[in-house]
Amino acid sequence: MNDKKKQGQPAVGDEVTWRSHGSSVSGKVEKKITERTEESERTVDASPEDPQYRVRSDKSGKSAVHKPSALRKKDRHD
């Protein structure tokens, strides 16, 4: 009975960074995905135990889907 959010798991609205093609990208979490679905032009095999997140790039405005291990919450000083 753990009511606390898993450590390191992003939440909708969080500012995050991730690596894409050797560069650091920043953006915002738009959606937590907890079931197999189509998102960002691909099939996302997510579940409540293994969620994935749709993020939108600040620079390009495009959406992508990533596992939580690929996302880092931005420091408030970034």
| Boundaries of every domain in the chain | 15-73
User: Can you give the pLDDT at residue 3?
Assistant: 40
- Which percentage of the chain shows pLDDT scores above 90? 76
Which residue numbers in the chain have pLDDT < 50? 1-5
User: Can you give the pLDDT at residue 76?
Assistant: 65
User: Can you give the pLDDT at residue 78?
Assistant: 54
**CA–CA separation, 70 vs 53, rounded Å?**
10
**CA–CA separation, 49 vs 67, rounded Å?**
12
Residue 61's φ and ψ, nearest 5 degrees, are: 80, 0
